[in-house]
Amino acid sequence: MTIRVVADTHALLWYLYNDSRLSKAATTFMDAIDEGGDQIAIASITLAELVYLIEKGKIASTSFERVIEMLSQPNATLVEIPFDRVVADMMRRIERDQVPDLPDRIVAATALSLGVPLISRDRKIQASIVPTIW
């Protein structure tokens, strides 16, 4: 199994719930990974973002459990990438003026650290050095 992409928090949620806000290109790419036996990565901060969004009443309370269940399955398509010094070093390559939000920078730096694109609708990230799919 090979990690082929990192999913931003919104992209992950929209993919899990078949939300039409996920672009056709992103949906097609994620479907191909799932069907091909490869992996979609999420940054560990995505889990914290899910908790935060649940607490604010922005997403279903079952979203966290659903993601944890997916991460826990044998040969899981979804894999969590922890925040470490490599990701922190990659954050230095992303201009803070361009991507000011800390969670966004961590997610983007996670993609850079793995050498894979990031699935994200975030225009600030799309304008940065991070390869994106949308």
Q: What is the pLDDT of residues 45-72, one digit of tens each?
A: 999 999 999 999 999 999 999 999 999 9
Question: Does residue 4 contact residue 77 with C-beta atoms inside 8 Å?
Answer: no
User: pLDDT value at position 67?
Assistant: 98
- Non-local CB neighbours of 54 within 8 Å, separated by 6+ positions: 60, 61, 63, 64
Question: Does residue 91 contact residue 54 with C-beta atoms inside 8 Å?
Answer: no
Distance CA 133, CA 117 (A): 7
What's domain 3-133's superfamily in CATH?
5'-nuclease (3.40.50.1010)
Q: What is the pLDDT of residues 95-127, one digit of tens each?
A: 999 999 999 999 999 999 999 999 999 999 999
User: pLDDT value at position 103?
Assistant: 97
| CA neighbor of 53 nearest in space, from 14, 111, 96 | 14
Task: Please state the pTM of the whole predicted model.
Answer: 0.95
Domain boundaries, the chain: 3-133
User: pLDDT value at position 1?
Assistant: 87
Q: Which residue, chain included where needed, has tokens 């969670």?
A: 103
Question: Does residue 87 contact residue 110 with C-beta atoms inside 8 Å?
Answer: yes
Burial class (CB in 10 A: 0-12, 13-18, 19+), 35: exposed
